[in-house]
Amino acid sequence: MEKRKIKILFVLSQLVQHGSERYLFEICQSLDKNKFQVEVMTRKYFVKDHYYYKKLIDLNIPIHRKLISKRHLRYPIKKFYNKAIYLRWLIKKIHAIIVDIEYEGFFEPYDIIAVVGIETYCDALMPYLDKNKNVVLHHVNHQFQFERNYFDECPQDKIVILDAQQELEIRNSSLTDPSLYHLPLSMKLSDRPNLNSKIVGTKPVRIGVVSRLFADRPNEPLLRCFHAVAQAVDARLYFYGSGNPKLYDQIVDELNIRDKVLFMGHQEDLEHSIIRDKLSMLWLVSMGSSISYGSIEVASFGIPMVFWNLSAMTYEQILADTNGAMHSFSDINQFVEFNKKVLKDPGMLKSVGIKLREFVLGKFEIANYIDALQKYYEGIAADATGAGDNSQ
């Protein structure tokens, strides 16, 4: 008799081309479809044109547009929401009514409900799924990116985390004895081209930064570092990412680098952009030795990269933790001096890219983790004696 497939529902607020969405897509495409029946739930409105909506449909993965978050309901009245106590009360009431209609009986057939983003759980599913034993939260952000500490209010304790920094943040919350499973950001890397040999020693040197242009992104330190590097090396800085370049008008003018900084906007194809713009290296952000999907993807091409570190780990600790592959600094002077050194030594610059490529191909290839993740899911499904209990 054929064994029944484990029915798993992934829940994510949207399916645009961002890191959390990439994380969901990589897991969904890698799970063994002979063992798992994979489905996705996302927000109710405005998603059919989203990048990963189309990609998931191409994988024949059903997508349920039922998710309703309090954040979604308050978007049109965001300016007034925090100032009006009765408006907040009304939004909560409206949300409760809508989810009662949308969610009634919907979750019962699923063996596992895997929510990507604790903020999605707290804003859209709590308290509706509070008593479900088959819920697992995939935590894909760090505390500084949140408007509040969601772990102080979340009743679920099965949490998949990316790195040691996330574990520390959770241990320091009020969550009691959480069950943590480590899964680094991972993706299919086996077919990545090596562009290291295509690094062009053009002048001026062209440095790329992959970062969204939002106020919560640490782009200002990189602009200050570039100003210092550009004093010693004829260079241009290319920003790749959506957002508002005007946020940086003041600092760009203060540093007198407006003619050397180009905001290129969001790029659908980083590989194409690197070749087109003849980049010699890239600067990105790390959380200690943890890096984003954008960083993993670029590093897999063999392009030299230097990181700005947002954690308390030292440069020496990060270097040791990555077998000498990652050069990540939290001190402007150290960052600048290292970049000036490698930019003046083409052999050393290429070596930085080669070593980092070798590291990420070993560390972040999803094929190295998918079997263990499937066993983890199977354990949750087997232990979920209360699965399907949606009572509030």
Q: For residue range 72-88, what is the model confidence (pLDDT) as tens digits?
A: 665 555 555 455 555 66
Tokens of 125: 């599913």
Give the percent of the chain with pLDDT over 70: 91
The mean pLDDT value for 318-329 works out to 96
Q: Provide the pLDDT for residue 311.
A: 87
pTM for this entry: 0.81
Q: State the average pLDDT over residues 365-384.
A: 94
Q: Which domains, and CATH codes, for the chain?
A: 6-188+366-383 (3.40.50.2000), 196-363 (3.40.50.2000)
pLDDT in tens, 212-240: 888 767 789 999 999 999 999 999 999 99
User: Among 283, 361, 370, 373, which residue's Cα sits nearest to residue 322?
Assistant: 361
pLDDT at 343: 92
How far apart are alpha carbons 364 and 196 in whole angstroms? 19
Q: For the segment 86-124, what is each residue's pLDDT rounded down to a tens digit? A: 566 677 777 777 777 788 889 999 999 999 999 899 888
342-366: per-residue pLDDT in tens?
999 989 999 999 999 999 999 999 9
3-state secondary structure (DSSP) of residue 12? coil
Q: What does the block give as tokens for 389? A: 């209990």
Q: What is the pLDDT of residues 143-186, one digit of tens each?
A: 767 777 888 888 898 999 998 888 988 988 888 889 999 999 99
Residue 180 CB-half CA count within 13 A: 19
Q: What is the DSSP string of 232-292?
A: HS-EEEEEESSB-GGGGHHHHHHHT-GGGEEE----S-HHHHHHHTT-SEEEEEEETTEE-
DSSP 75: G
| DSSP classification of residue 124 | I
